[in-house]
Each structure stands twice: as structure tokens, then as C-alpha cells.
Amino acid sequence: MMPSLKVRILANKTIKEIADELGISKDKARYRAGKLPRNFTYQKNGITCLRNNGYKKILEEVSGT
């Protein structure tokens, strides 16, 4: 019997995807992403993407928790 492996799937998202999911403007999502530490975001083909920790931080700020 194989041991179960816990796999963590990273849901890296673009600014637009985050804005659409949270119901905020792209400008607001971009502003909040710009305030995050650099290791929370990265550039892919000129598009700003957020790692899970960045997404969670913006979600906390928007929801007020």
C-alpha cells in the first residue's frame, strides 16, 4: 500500500482573474498587489501574477478579515 501524499496545488492568478473573482476593479487589484512584498507576485510574459499567499492577503484586505 502506497503512503498518501499531500499535494499542494498553487492557484497562481492574474490581476484580472483576482479582480473578477473578488468583484473589484482591476485598478484596485493592481494597487493592492503593488503593496505586497515582491515574493508574493511575479511577472510571466509581461503579465503580473500573484502566488497563493498574495491572493490570500488581498482576499483578507477586501473582505475585512
* Rounded Cα gap, residues 43 and 55, in angstroms: 15
Q: What is the pLDDT of residue 65?
A: 62
Asked if residue 7 has pLDDT above 60, the reply is: no
Residue 26: how many other CB atoms lie within 10 Å = 13
Structural domain includes residue 8 = no
1 vs 21, more confident: 21
What is the spatial distance between Cα 35 and Cα 38, in angstroms, rounded to a whole number? 9
Residue 51 lies in a domain: yes
**Considering the domain boundaries, does residue 1 fall inside one?**
no
Task: Report how many domains make up the chain.
Answer: 1
In the chain, what's the furthest Cα-to-Cα distance? 51
Closest listed residue to residue 50, CA positions, set 25, 16, 14: 14
More confident residue, 39 or 10: 39
Q: What is the pLDDT of residue 63?
A: 83
On average, the pLDDT of the chain sits at 84
> Could you tell me the residue range of the domain that residue 51 belongs to?
13-63
* pLDDT score for 15: 94
The mean per-residue pLDDT over the stretch 29-49 comes to: 93
